[in-house]
């Protein structure tokens, strides 16, 4: 043993010194079980041999393994570290729309890179930080509905110190640049463009009127001084991933809503409210939006129930610009990533959802009524059963219903405090569930578990870290690695091929890792090789041909354990063989998030979020400011792209 000055050891180091970890740990065995079996479909590469991830080095240079015939319609590209977008040879990309571009002609020229957008036009332009999106063909017109997740306050409020709002107008600028943009787009000689002034164009933001339905609608927990009915909400917040319904509506998913609230006085002392604040991360400061100093709705000392009115799945009808968005409390309140539907054998609607926070849970909602194409769908998302996932280490799992009988909570409380309901039934703590994708042609679904640096890590007191509800984050079946900086994708197949079934089988489709610098579990699963390195899978959609498109939101330093991964990117995965290839890379500093296709499937729309995080000037080279944007990716020969 080296001579170590024990006075400088952290608690973890001290523990390791005195109680060294066994050669083969429990979590290694869990990893082996999770990925040592062949995939559900009998593929040869989907899962490496246990030895490959047990540190014997077999994983290094997986080129030695026989590769199945490629079904990828493109030549993979190398990792990139520069400031622009790359796609394979034979493909092109163009900018469809940038943050600040006008949706209405009165807002032409409203965006100034030096001054931002004035309050007058903040809700007349495409919002900032594009995220989930879906395309709808309505009466032959292409209507794109897109989330704007958050704002970079310094660039939107260059006159305000540190970008902290100093007036109600400043607050309104930020509020109106987020939310959802509905816009008609059309393809012309010069490529795709927004149809300015289309009657479908609409901005939905932090002050747009909405209604509630489901078990918590009208409940005391949703009532405020301004809205004693508990039915009339204002705004949708931190719109992250997307979803759609089979009946042609858009689902926007409210993720880190907690950050918009703050307090000018003592936090509420009511124990139920306070417990919810603790679990959902609501505090006096928020994330620096400072809404609460100028807009009392966001001051929780004055409006303690206002945060209960955010954190929902919101349904928007893109065909009717005058429609009122509906917050569906039946689908639970948490930090919603996206919403992926499947139709069960009997016609009921299943909606899979993840709660993106370390150690939070994965959910399935199942409608009470069946979906009848062309029938009345107004209340389909209002009544049903919300369940939470419990994974066993033996590659099985089950959906545990969250009901008064299973949780000891009433239906409205289950809806508002869904995380606590999940804890009560022993839900499995996950490594930050991001997007879920349902396979269109096979009874299986996938969830990106992006990373969890605290998984299995001990506190100073020597206990395993927990989520905010006290549920331990020890390594478990689908989350098998300690201090997981790379992420993985879990896949499940419902029993009997029916998305209404209460049980499922699961495996890991991929464990991201870096076989060029690590051995053992951190090298990743056998379908990771030097040519397709990535970390932190996040966005995910499966196209009509069954290819899994994986977008990343990870460390793009290209150094250390991330060496060779380059910028954030989009890869395609074959669900049968497990093979994964890189398709697109974004500019340095960005996250790639949001994906949909034109109706003719000859254009793929890809979102580039926060490209300016490391400076840069994408996409306006020579400009002074990087801008989030959606790019249209096409084949040079006009062929299909998904």
Give the binding site for ligand FEO (CB under 6 A).
149, 240, 255, 337, 356, 434
SS3 readout for 396-441: EEEEEECCHHHHCCCHHHHHHCHHHHHHHCCCCCCECEEEEEECCC
Of 184 and 355, nearer to Ca ion (C-beta) is 355
Phi-psi region at 470: left, alpha or beta (left = phi > 0; alpha = psi -120 to 50): left
Strand pairing of 629-635 and 91-98?
antiparallel
Q: How far is CA 242 from the centre of its chain?
A: 8
**Smallest gap, in angstroms, from Cβ of residue 431 to ligand FEO?**
12
Structure-token pair, residue 561: 């354990």
Whether the Cβ atoms of residue 134 and residue 269 lie closer than 8 Å to each other: no
Question: Which member of 184, 444, 538, 617 binds Ca ion (CB under 5 A)?
Answer: 538
Binding mask 498-537 for Ca ion (x = CB under 5 A): ----------------------------------------
**Smallest gap, in angstroms, from Cβ of residue 449 to ligand FEO?**
11
Nearest alpha carbon to residue 412 among 578, 550, 568, 217: 217
**Smallest gap, in angstroms, from Cβ of residue 178 to Ca ion?**
12
Of 121 and 237, nearer to Ca ion (C-beta) is 237
| 513: three-class secondary structure by DSSP | coil
Of 91 and 260, nearer to ligand FEO (C-beta) is 260
* Residue nearest Ca ion (C-beta atom): 553
**Smallest gap, in angstroms, from Cβ of residue 434 to ligand FEO?**
5
The single-letter DSSP state of residue 476 is: B
Q: Does 553 bind Ca ion (CB under 5 A)?
A: yes
**Smallest gap, in angstroms, from Cβ of residue 281 to ligand FEO?**
14
Does residue 619 have a cis peptide bond before it, meaning omega lies within 30 degrees of 0?
Answer: yes
Nearest alpha carbon to residue 608 among 556, 558, 570: 570
**Smallest gap, in angstroms, from Cβ of residue 356 to ligand FEO?**
3
Of 318 and 433, nearer to Ca ion (C-beta) is 433
Binding mask 407-436 for Ca ion (x = CB under 5 A): ---------------------------x--
What residues pair up with 234 in beta bridges, in sequence order? 209
The interface partner of residue 255, options being ligand FEO, Ca ion, none and the CB cut-off 5 to 8 Å by kind, is: ligand FEO
**Smallest gap, in angstroms, from Cβ of residue 388 to ligand FEO?**
18
**Smallest gap, in angstroms, from Cβ of residue 332 to ligand FEO?**
16
Q: How many residues bind Ca ion (CB under 5 A)?
A: 3
Binding mask 49-68 for Ca ion (x = CB under 5 A): --------------------
Of 127 and 230, nearer to Ca ion (C-beta) is 127
SS3 readout for 101-134: CECCHHHCCCCECCCECCCCCCCCECCCCEEEEE
The interface partner of residue 317, options being Ca ion, ligand FEO, none and the CB cut-off 5 to 8 Å by kind, is: none
Of 538 and 617, nearer to Ca ion (C-beta) is 538
Cα-based distances in Å from 160 to 90, 157, 171, 288? 46, 5, 11, 12
Of 443 and 592, nearer to ligand FEO (C-beta) is 592
Of 121 and 257, nearer to Ca ion (C-beta) is 257
Residues 6+ positions from 358 with CB-CB distance below 8 Å: 431, 432, 452, 453, 454, 455, 467, 473
Binding site for Ca ion (CB under 5 A): 434, 538, 553
């Amino acid at each position: 043993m080296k001579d170590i000055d024990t006075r400088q050891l952290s608690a973890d180091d001290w523990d390791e010194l005195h109680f060294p970890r066994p050669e083969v740990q429990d979590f290694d065995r869990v990893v082996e079980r999770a990925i040592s079996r062949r995939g559900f479909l009998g593929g040869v590469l989907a899962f490496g041999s246990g030895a490959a991830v047990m540190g014997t080095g077999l994983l290094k240079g997986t080129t030695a393994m026989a590769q199945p015939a490629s079904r990828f319609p493109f030549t993979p590209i190398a990792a990139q570290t520069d400031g622009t977008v790359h796609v394979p040879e034979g493909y092109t990309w163009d900018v469809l729309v940038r943050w600040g571009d006008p949706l209405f002609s009165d807002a032409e020229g409203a965006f100034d890179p030096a001054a931002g957008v004035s309050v007058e036009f903040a809700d007349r332009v495409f919002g900032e930080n594009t995220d989930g999106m879906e395309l709808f063909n309505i009466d032959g017109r292409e209507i794109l509905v897109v989330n704007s997740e958050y704002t970079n306050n310094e660039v939107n409020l260059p006159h305000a110190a540190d970008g902290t709002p100093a007036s109600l107008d400043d607050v309104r600028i930020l509020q109106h640049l987020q939310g959802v943009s509905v816009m008609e787009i059309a393809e012309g000689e010069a490529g795709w463009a927004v149809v300015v002034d289309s009657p479908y164009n609409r901005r939905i933001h932090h002050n747009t009127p909405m209604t509630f339905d489901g078990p918590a609608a009208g409940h005391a927990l949703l009532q405020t001084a301004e809205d004693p009915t508990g039915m009339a909400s204002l705004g949708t917040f931190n719109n992250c991933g997307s979803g759609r319904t089979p009946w042609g509506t858009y689902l926007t998913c409210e993720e880190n809503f907690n950050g918009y609230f703050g307090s000018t006085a003592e936090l509420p002392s009511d124990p139920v409210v306070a417990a919810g604040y603790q679990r959902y991360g609501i505090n006096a400061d928020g994330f620096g939006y400072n809404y609460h100093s100028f807009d009392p709705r966001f001051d929780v000392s004055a409006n303690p129930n206002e945060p209960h009115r955010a954190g929902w799945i919101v349904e928007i009808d893109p065909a009717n610009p005058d429609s009122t968005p509906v917050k569906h409390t039946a689908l639970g309140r948490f930090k919603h990533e996206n919403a992926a539907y499947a139709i069960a054998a009997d016609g009921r609607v299943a909606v899979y959802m993840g709660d993106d926070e370390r150690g939070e849970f994965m959910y399935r909602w199942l409608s009470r009524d069946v979906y009848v194409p062309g029938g009345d769908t107004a209340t389909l998302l209002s009544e049903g059963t919300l369940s939470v996932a419990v994974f066993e280490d033996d590659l099985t799992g089950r959906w545990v219903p969250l009901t008064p009988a299973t949780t000891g909570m009433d239906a409205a409380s289950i809806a508002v405090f869904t995380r606590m309901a999940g804890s009560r039934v022993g839900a499995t703590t996950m490594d930050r569930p991001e997007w879920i994708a349902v396979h269109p042609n096979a009874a299986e679904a996938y969830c990106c578990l992006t990373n969890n640096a605290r998984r299995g890590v001990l506190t100073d007191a020597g206990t395993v870290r927990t989520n905010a509800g006290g549920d331990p984050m020890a390594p478990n079946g689908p989350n098998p690695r300690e201090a997981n900086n790379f992420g993985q994708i879990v896949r499940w197949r419902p029993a009997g091929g029916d998305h209404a079934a209460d049980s499922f089988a699961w495996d890991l489709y991929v464990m991201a890792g870096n076989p060029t610098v690590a051995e053992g579990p951190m090298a990743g699963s056998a379908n990771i090789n030097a040519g397709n390195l990535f970390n932190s899978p996040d966005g995910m959609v499966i196209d009509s041909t069954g290819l899994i498109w994986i977008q990343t939101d990870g460390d793009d330093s290209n150094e250390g354990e991330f060496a060779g991964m380059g910028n954030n990117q989009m890869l395609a995965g074959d669900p049968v063989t497990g093979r994964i290839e890189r398709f697109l890379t974004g500019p340095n500093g960005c996250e790639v998030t949001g994906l949909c296709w034109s109706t003719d499937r000859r254009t793929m729309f890809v979102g580039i979020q926060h490209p300016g995080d490391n400076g840069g000037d994408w996409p306006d080279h020579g400009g002074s400011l990087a801008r989030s944007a959606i790019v249209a990716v096409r084949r040079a020969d006009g062929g299909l792209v998904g």
